[in-house]
Amino acid sequence: MKKVLLILFLIVGYCEVSQAQSIIVNAQNSTITIPSKFVKDIFIGNMTRWKNNSLIEVVDYNANTELRTEFTAKYIEMSVMRVYKNWIRLSLSAEVAPPKIFHTQQEVIDFVSKNANAIGYIKDRQLISKDSSVKEVKILEK
């Protein structure tokens, strides 16, 4: 019975780790929580400034990565293609520069750690603990 409970516990624990994405910002950023609706606004380019009026630097992944597809489906509720086109429209209309695109989570962490106004997301929380210049921001669900 103990073995069964242990296995169940491990499975549930694994699912939680593998499914949740974490929003990360630079450690200098005073933001602690962020409503999920703002997550959408930031990552489609409609919200471009932090509360102190400094420009938000969005970091994202290649369009064909699983992490981006999962994040887009969960928080943006639009296809990656639509999100991408929205960014193209905003950047070509000179509203805001397009997001930095990276391949790996470590690249995202590195960029956010060096840029005070940057925001990104990762899947593997354990990568954050290795770098104190990046912190996780709690997402307030709807």
Partner 1 sequence: MLKIILFTLFISTSVNAQSLKHKIYGYAQMDWNTSSDSDTKEGFQLKRVNLINDILLTNNSRFLADVEFEEGTDHTPSSNKGTVKVSRAFYEHSLSQHWKFQAGKVLTPYGLLNETHDFSIIYLPVNVPLPYRSQKITASRNARLYSKYTTGLSFNYKTSNHNRFWDAQLSIGNGSQESDEGTDVNNDKSVAVKQQFKWYGDSITTNWGTSHFTEGDSTRYGGIGGQRMWSHNTFLGLESDNFQFNLELFYSKFNTGLTAKQESASGYSVLGYNLSDSTIPYLYYAQSKIDLREKEWNSSFGIGLAHNISPAVVIKGEWIRTDQHQNFEEKAIDDWNTTLAISF
Which chain residues interact with partner 1 by CB under 8 A?
Answer: 37, 40-41, 44, 46-47, 49, 52-55, 63-64, 77-82, 84-85, 88-89, 91-94, 97-98, 117
Residue 52 vs 132, nearer CB to partner 1: 52
For partner 1, the closer of residues 37 and 125 by Cβ is 37
Least distance (Å) between residue 14 CB and partner 1: 30
CB of 78 or CB of 127, closer to partner 1: 78
Long-range contacts of 31-34 (CB under 8 A, 24+ apart): 31/137, 32/137, 32/138, 33/137, 33/138, 33/139, 33/140, 34/137, 34/138, 34/139, 34/140
Which residues lie below 8 Å from residue 2, measured CB to CB, with a gap of 6+? Answer: none
Q: Which is nearer to partner 1, 49 or 103 (CB)?
A: 49
* Least distance CB 99 / partner 1 (angstroms): 10
Helix/strand/coil for 111: helix
